[in-house]
Amino acid sequence: MTAPPERSPERDAALLAMLPHVAALGWTRAALRRGLRDTGADPLDAELLFPGGTAALVEAWTDLEDRRMQAAMAARDLAGLRLAERVRLAVALRLEAARPYRTAVRRAVAVLALPGNAGLATRTLARTVDAIWHAAGDLSADFAWYTKRFILGAIYAATLLFWLRDDSGDDSATLAFLDRRLADHARFHKAQLRCGERLSRWLPGEAAG
């Protein structure tokens, strides 16, 4: 797990203030300065808060959204939910929080898709997936840790891209898409378990023969 970017209340407030301007100005210091001006802060603080520019802004915002999702999950009663249902809820809450800023998300995805930002895209996706699993209550540290995160990473990335084209207004089409992906994985996992059980019964007999 990679270390998160620098965190501070000032940086979080600046990111939230700039979001309404990202649609028109992109993930730029111009948008950040506009947001700082809206809050009465000094626009010149933009370079002090985010010296890394666009990449630093996108990474910090992704991290902030992960933390906001975890806080929203912590405020829910999850006792009666299965792990898969908790994962679904975490993804749903993260998308719901981003709904007013869909264009900002689209612009962030475009930044992460640039060839020079492949490492950044990998880090942010890994942290988001890890945040979802932790928020869902999965704290495993065995080999399954890697498998589950790899699978959820693929599911989350596909769901996010679907969400960017979802015009349902309430994310219902996206959540139906997510449900299908989770169900596909559950069926595949069950099939793997059945195959493993059959092999374990077959192999000893073969060895004896």
Tens digits of residue pLDDT in 80-95: 999 889 999 999 999 9
Q: Is the pLDDT of residue 193 over 50?
A: no
Percentage above 90 pLDDT, the chain: 70
For the chain, which residues make up each domain, given as ranges? 9-208
Residue 204: pLDDT band by 50, 70, 90 thresholds? Answer: low
Quick check: 199 pLDDT over 50? no
- Round to whole Å and give the CA distance between 57 and 53: 6
Task: Say what the pTM is.
Answer: 0.85
pLDDT tens string 112-126: 999 999 999 999 999
Question: What pLDDT is recorded for position 201?
Answer: 54
Q: What's the sign of the alpha-carbon dihedral 148, 178, 95, 52?
A: positive
Rounded CA separation 49/6 (Å): 10
The domain made up of 9-208 is a member of CATH 1.10.357.10:
yes
Structure confidence by residue, pLDDT tens digits, 127-152: 999 999 999 998 776 667 778 888 89
> Do residues 19 and 101 touch, judged by C-beta distance below 8 A?
yes
- Chain centroid to CA 76: 19
